[in-house]
Amino acid sequence: MATRCGLRGDLGRPTQPAVVISGLQRSFGTRAVLRGVDLAVAQGECVAVLGPSGCGKSTLLRAVAGLDPTVGDEVRVNGSVAVVFQQPRLLPWKRVCDNVGLGLPRHGRGELIEAALAEVELSARARDWPVTLSGGEAQRAALARALVRRPAVLLLDEPFASLDALTRLRMQGLVLQLWRTHGLAMLVVTHDVDEAIVLADRAVVLDQGGIGLDVPIELPRPRRRASSAFEILRRQLLRHLGVEPDGGGVDP
Amino acid sequence: MIARPRLRRLAVPLSLVGLWQLTSSTGSLPDRKLTAPATVIATAWRLTANGVLPHNLVVSLGRAVLGLAIGATLGVTLGVLSGLSRAGEDMLDATVQMLRTLPFLGLVPLFILWFGIGETPKVAMVSLGVFFPLYLNTFSGIRGVDEGLVDAARSCGLGRLGLVRHVVLPGALPSVLVGLRYSLGLAWLSLVVVEQVNADSGLGYLMNNAREFIQTDVLVLALAVYALLGLATDAMVRFVERGALAWRRDAAFAGT
């Protein structure tokens, strides 16, 4: 398995990062959620953002997605961005294929939709209404809707949190496969430490409105949850999140 | 073979009509108070044959359709305007909300003063009755669209126009159709009132006339026609809903 290009770049020259966040601040009313976050995601790199709920993970992601206005150079993204949210957020009044093709130029749209649905193995449901999809199918449709735009950066906001355990494992495998074939830069927001270790090249912990921990995950892929290296990383991250792995943990 | 639940639903109204006919036939329900169903049917036949009922029905329908077209266009347009923009809301919504509290049927005398006794006050009254439910439901339908869907569509690169077309308006449609249902009810109600106050044709005129000549059969017949019209319009909206809202849970599962 070839190592992905990190910030230094494997080609001997520094590649331009896909996402650069510098000094990002956000507050709701008087409560500061993000107090100057600095984070860069390299081309083709997968970064997991961990943190307890309410720590500003989603706020960070919304800023990168361009859903909230940013000032100046807070967020720079090289190329286009697509988002997969925790809920599939498919438009219920459009068939699956029309959801996937939302906002695409008319020319060549049909083939793009077909290809994207085939990639997530949902071709058979193309003409169905979203309400008839299972949770996993709906999330796969959302994934197709993101990928069909050929984004340089894919943002995932707790993408598997609403799925059952088995579907979640399958989805993680699918996302990894798509990440590899498309050479995407990915930013995955999650509260699931295992998920972060399975997916990411690097895990950062959001803490007190800033990046509290930034650890590379250099385990060979595919990653085995039972390996001791996995366990060591898990303990390290959990401890940083305020949970003692052997019980008696502090509630984050 | 009629399904059992449908049979149960029909049982009570049918027995009521039966009881009505029975009490009329035995003379315990005087014809002057309430004409027997059989007589009403005979009257319906007579007034249809001599053209009186069809003529007045067409006149009333014409008023309802014209009033509905005007009121619905205004209600939906203004509802969309104030639903989509804060400026529109500031300018329109407070005013409409204020006017809404006015019992609009109370405006009949004023409308007669303004518009005379021709078709204008009648159509205007229907338009007014139709306007409010459609405005309110369009407005609240637009404001009720799920923010999450809007965000998702924005992340797909949709601009303001695309959002309105693909997310906001389809999202508001179920609520608009609820508004349409209320509107149709109010359209008939306004028509009954204005046609009885001042008219020389229409179902309301037929009723008013019948009251003066104590023709209870015609009165009951006109009421029955109103009821049928109400039922028919409701069925029409339901038909439209079936087509336009095929994506909803119940419809989507039934259709596949």
> Pick from B148, B158, B247: which is nearest to A89 by CB?
B148
Using beta carbons and an 8 Å cutoff, which residues of B are at the interface with A? Answer: 146, 148-149, 151-158, 162, 166-167, 170-171, 173, 245-249, 252-253, 256
DSSP chain A: -PPPP-SS-SSSSPPPPSEEEEEEEEEETTEEEEEEEEEEE-TT-EEEEE--TTSSHHHHHHHHHTSS---TTSEEESS-EEEE-SS----TTS-HHHHHTTT--STTHHHHHHHHHHHTT-GGGTTS-GGGS-HHHHHHHHHHHHHTT--SEEEEESTTTTS-HHHHHHHHHHHHHHHHHHT-EEEEEES-HHHHHHH-SEEEEEETTEEEEEEE--PPSSPPTTSHHHHHHHHHHHHHTT--TTS-PPP-
Please answer whether residues B192 and B222 qualify as being in contact, where contact means their C-beta atoms are separated by less than 8 angstroms.
no
> Can you say whether residue B4 is alpha, beta or left, with left for phi > 0 and alpha for psi between -120 and 50 degrees?
alpha
Question: Which DSSP category does B214 fall into?
Answer: T
Q: Which residues contact B194 (CB under 8 A, 6 or more apart)?
A: B108, B111, B121, B122, B125, B126, B204
- pTM, two decimal places: 0.85
> Pick from B155, B166, B248: which is nearest to A83 by CB?
B155
Residue written as token pair 């052997």 = A246
pLDDT digits (tens, 9 = 90+) for A43-87: 999 999 998 888 899 999 999 999 998 888 899 999 999 999 999
Average pLDDT by consecutive 10-residue portion of chain B (256 residues)? 76 91 90 89 95 95 95 97 94 92 89 89 94 96 96 95 96 96 91 86 92 92 92 91 88 68
Residue numbers in B near A89 (CB within 8 A)? 146, 148-149, 151-152
Three-state helix/strand/coil letters over A61-122: HHHHHCCCCCCCCCEEECCCEEEECCCCCCCCCCCHHHHHCCCCCCCCHHHHHHHHHHHCCC
Tokens of A23: 């000094």
Nearest to A222 by CA among A184, A169, A190, A176: A176
pLDDT digits (tens, 9 = 90+) for A112-157: 999 999 999 999 999 999 999 999 999 999 999 999 999 999 999 9
Please answer whether residues A126 and A95 qualify as being in contact, where contact means their C-beta atoms are separated by less than 8 angstroms.
yes
Q: What is the ipTM of this complex?
A: 0.88
pLDDT-derived band at A8, boundaries 50, 70, 90: very low
Partners of A210 in beta bridges: A207
Parallel, antiparallel, or unpaired for β A210-216 and A202-207?
Answer: antiparallel
